[in-house]
Copies of this chain bind each other. A is one copy, B any other.
Amino acid sequence: MGRPVRRRLHPEARRLEIVEAAERLLQAHGPRVRVEDVVREAGVAKGTFFLYFPTWDDLLDTVRQRLVAEFDAASPLPTEVDGPIDWMALLDLHAAAYIDFASARQGIGQALFHSDFAERRSQADNAVVRLSAVIRAGQEAEAFGPVDPEPTALLLFAALDEAARAVAGGRDREAIVAALRLLLRRTLAP
Protein backbone atom coordinates (compact mmCIF):
# COMPACT_ATOMS: atom_id res chain seq x y z
CA MET A 1 0.00 0.00 0.00
CA GLY A 2 2.87 2.37 0.59
CA ARG A 3 2.73 4.28 3.80
CA PRO A 4 0.86 7.54 3.61
CA VAL A 5 3.27 10.40 3.24
CA ARG A 6 2.97 12.95 5.96
CA ARG A 7 2.54 16.26 4.23
CA ARG A 8 3.15 19.23 6.45
CA LEU A 9 1.13 22.21 5.33
CA HIS A 10 0.44 25.71 6.46
CA PRO A 11 -2.63 25.48 8.69
CA GLU A 12 -4.73 27.63 6.41
CA ALA A 13 -3.79 25.51 3.43
CA ARG A 14 -4.61 22.30 5.25
CA ARG A 15 -7.84 23.74 6.51
CA LEU A 16 -8.73 24.76 3.01
CA GLU A 17 -7.98 21.31 1.67
CA ILE A 18 -10.31 19.78 4.18
CA VAL A 19 -13.08 22.26 3.48
CA GLU A 20 -12.77 21.78 -0.24
CA ALA A 21 -12.80 18.03 0.12
CA ALA A 22 -15.93 18.35 2.21
CA GLU A 23 -17.54 20.60 -0.36
CA ARG A 24 -16.87 18.13 -3.13
CA LEU A 25 -18.42 15.31 -1.17
CA LEU A 26 -21.35 17.31 0.13
CA GLN A 27 -22.07 18.43 -3.38
CA ALA A 28 -22.05 14.85 -4.58
CA HIS A 29 -23.75 13.06 -1.70
CA GLY A 30 -25.53 15.64 0.41
CA PRO A 31 -26.08 15.16 4.11
CA ARG A 32 -24.91 11.58 4.00
CA VAL A 33 -21.26 12.58 4.15
CA ARG A 34 -19.39 11.63 7.32
CA VAL A 35 -16.12 12.72 8.89
CA GLU A 36 -14.65 9.45 7.73
CA ASP A 37 -15.42 10.31 4.12
CA VAL A 38 -14.00 13.78 4.32
CA VAL A 39 -10.69 12.70 5.76
CA ARG A 40 -10.31 10.02 3.12
CA GLU A 41 -11.06 12.52 0.37
CA ALA A 42 -8.71 15.07 1.88
CA GLY A 43 -5.99 12.50 2.44
CA VAL A 44 -5.54 13.29 6.11
CA ALA A 45 -5.88 11.39 9.33
CA LYS A 46 -9.02 11.55 11.37
CA GLY A 47 -7.34 13.47 14.12
CA THR A 48 -6.32 16.14 11.67
CA PHE A 49 -9.93 16.87 10.95
CA PHE A 50 -10.69 17.58 14.56
CA LEU A 51 -7.59 19.69 14.78
CA TYR A 52 -9.25 22.17 12.49
CA PHE A 53 -12.91 21.56 13.24
CA PRO A 54 -13.66 20.67 16.83
CA THR A 55 -17.05 19.51 15.69
CA TRP A 56 -18.65 18.30 12.51
CA ASP A 57 -21.06 21.19 12.71
CA ASP A 58 -18.15 23.59 12.77
CA LEU A 59 -17.15 22.35 9.37
CA LEU A 60 -20.66 22.84 8.07
CA ASP A 61 -20.67 26.35 9.48
CA THR A 62 -17.50 27.07 7.57
CA VAL A 63 -18.92 25.64 4.39
CA ARG A 64 -21.98 27.79 4.78
CA GLN A 65 -19.99 30.94 5.31
CA ARG A 66 -17.92 30.19 2.24
CA LEU A 67 -21.04 29.53 0.24
CA VAL A 68 -22.57 32.85 1.18
CA ALA A 69 -19.35 34.71 0.57
CA GLU A 70 -18.95 33.06 -2.79
CA PHE A 71 -22.40 34.11 -3.91
CA ASP A 72 -21.91 37.64 -2.65
CA ALA A 73 -18.68 37.91 -4.53
CA ALA A 74 -20.24 36.56 -7.70
CA SER A 75 -23.37 38.68 -7.54
CA PRO A 76 -22.73 41.85 -5.58
CA LEU A 77 -25.55 44.24 -4.98
CA PRO A 78 -24.93 47.68 -6.47
CA THR A 79 -23.66 49.80 -3.64
CA GLU A 80 -22.85 52.98 -5.44
CA VAL A 81 -25.39 54.62 -7.58
CA ASP A 82 -24.05 55.45 -10.94
CA GLY A 83 -27.41 56.50 -12.06
CA PRO A 84 -30.91 55.27 -11.27
CA ILE A 85 -31.27 51.58 -10.55
CA ASP A 86 -33.78 49.50 -12.40
CA TRP A 87 -35.00 47.59 -9.40
CA MET A 88 -37.12 45.13 -11.26
CA ALA A 89 -34.29 44.24 -13.56
CA LEU A 90 -31.99 43.94 -10.61
CA LEU A 91 -34.37 41.50 -8.99
CA ASP A 92 -34.62 39.44 -12.15
CA LEU A 93 -30.91 39.28 -12.42
CA HIS A 94 -30.34 38.25 -8.88
CA ALA A 95 -33.07 35.68 -8.92
CA ALA A 96 -31.61 34.03 -11.96
CA ALA A 97 -28.14 34.22 -10.50
CA TYR A 98 -29.32 32.64 -7.27
CA ILE A 99 -31.09 29.85 -9.09
CA ASP A 100 -28.05 29.01 -11.13
CA PHE A 101 -25.73 29.25 -8.19
CA ALA A 102 -27.83 27.25 -5.77
CA SER A 103 -28.98 24.63 -8.22
CA ALA A 104 -25.37 23.96 -9.12
CA ARG A 105 -24.71 23.35 -5.44
CA GLN A 106 -27.81 21.41 -4.61
CA GLY A 107 -26.03 18.75 -2.56
CA ILE A 108 -24.42 21.31 -0.33
CA GLY A 109 -27.62 23.25 0.01
CA GLN A 110 -29.41 20.09 1.03
CA ALA A 111 -26.84 19.33 3.67
CA LEU A 112 -26.79 22.85 5.01
CA PHE A 113 -30.33 24.08 4.80
CA HIS A 114 -32.62 21.09 4.62
CA SER A 115 -31.16 18.56 7.02
CA ASP A 116 -30.94 18.06 10.75
CA PHE A 117 -28.05 20.48 10.78
CA ALA A 118 -30.38 23.26 9.72
CA GLU A 119 -32.57 22.45 12.68
CA ARG A 120 -29.66 22.61 15.11
CA ARG A 121 -28.16 25.78 13.75
CA SER A 122 -31.12 27.98 12.96
CA GLN A 123 -29.42 30.30 10.59
CA ALA A 124 -29.90 34.00 11.01
CA ASP A 125 -31.01 33.71 7.38
CA ASN A 126 -29.29 36.79 6.23
CA ALA A 127 -30.42 35.96 2.72
CA VAL A 128 -33.91 36.93 3.82
CA VAL A 129 -32.63 39.96 5.64
CA ARG A 130 -30.83 41.06 2.54
CA LEU A 131 -33.86 40.55 0.37
CA SER A 132 -36.03 42.59 2.68
CA ALA A 133 -33.49 45.38 2.55
CA VAL A 134 -33.67 45.33 -1.21
CA ILE A 135 -37.44 45.49 -1.08
CA ARG A 136 -37.28 48.44 1.23
CA ALA A 137 -34.81 50.25 -0.96
CA GLY A 138 -36.93 49.57 -4.01
CA GLN A 139 -39.95 50.94 -2.18
CA GLU A 140 -38.11 54.11 -1.33
CA ALA A 141 -37.25 54.50 -4.96
CA GLU A 142 -40.96 53.96 -5.67
CA ALA A 143 -40.11 51.00 -7.83
CA PHE A 144 -41.93 48.52 -5.61
CA GLY A 145 -45.44 48.53 -4.20
CA PRO A 146 -46.57 48.74 -0.59
CA VAL A 147 -45.85 45.19 0.57
CA ASP A 148 -44.75 44.37 4.08
CA PRO A 149 -40.99 43.91 3.54
CA GLU A 150 -40.03 41.26 6.07
CA PRO A 151 -42.79 38.70 5.65
CA THR A 152 -42.76 39.21 1.92
CA ALA A 153 -39.03 38.71 1.74
CA LEU A 154 -39.43 35.51 3.71
CA LEU A 155 -42.00 34.12 1.34
CA LEU A 156 -40.26 35.24 -1.80
CA PHE A 157 -37.02 33.71 -0.70
CA ALA A 158 -38.78 30.43 -0.06
CA ALA A 159 -40.04 30.53 -3.62
CA LEU A 160 -36.63 31.45 -4.88
CA ASP A 161 -35.00 28.59 -3.05
CA GLU A 162 -37.60 26.16 -4.24
CA ALA A 163 -36.95 27.31 -7.75
CA ALA A 164 -33.29 26.49 -7.35
CA ARG A 165 -34.10 23.05 -6.01
CA ALA A 166 -36.49 22.42 -8.85
CA VAL A 167 -33.88 23.33 -11.42
CA ALA A 168 -31.37 21.14 -9.65
CA GLY A 169 -33.96 18.37 -9.76
CA GLY A 170 -33.99 18.53 -13.51
CA ARG A 171 -37.04 20.63 -14.19
CA ASP A 172 -37.08 23.00 -17.11
CA ARG A 173 -34.96 25.94 -16.09
CA GLU A 174 -36.57 28.40 -18.46
CA ALA A 175 -40.08 27.64 -17.26
CA ILE A 176 -39.06 27.93 -13.64
CA VAL A 177 -37.20 31.16 -14.14
CA ALA A 178 -40.09 32.62 -16.07
CA ALA A 179 -42.59 31.67 -13.40
CA LEU A 180 -40.38 33.07 -10.69
CA ARG A 181 -39.86 36.29 -12.56
CA LEU A 182 -43.57 36.73 -12.98
CA LEU A 183 -44.16 36.00 -9.33
CA LEU A 184 -41.57 38.51 -8.23
CA ARG A 185 -42.60 41.25 -10.61
CA ARG A 186 -46.28 40.95 -9.89
CA THR A 187 -45.84 40.74 -6.15
CA LEU A 188 -43.59 43.75 -5.96
CA ALA A 189 -45.19 45.84 -8.69
CA PRO A 190 -46.11 49.35 -7.59
Q: Taking beta carbons and an 8 Å cutoff, which residues of A are in contact with B?
A: 30-31, 110, 114-116, 118-119, 122, 147-148, 150-152, 154-159, 161-163, 166, 169, 171-172, 175-176, 178-180, 182-183, 186-187, 189
Contacts and interface: CB of A to CB of B under 8 A. Distances in A.
Contact of A186 (B171, B172, B179, B186): B186
Contacts of A178: 148, 151
A159 B146 CA distance: 19
A165 B158 CA distance: 11
A157 B155 CA distance: 10
Contacts of A115: 115-116, 119
A88 to B, nearest CB: 14
Given A119-B114, A187-B187, A182 B31 contact: no
Contacts of A157: 162
Given A115-B116, A186-B186, A154 B148 contact: no
State the number of copies, please. 4
Contact of A156 (B31, B171, B183): B183
Nearest to A177: B151
B175 A148 contact: yes
A179 B151 contact: yes
A41 to B, nearest CB: 20
A177 to B, nearest CB: 9
Given A158-B161, A162-B158, A183 B118 contact: no
A78 to B, nearest CB: 25
A156 B162 CA distance: 9
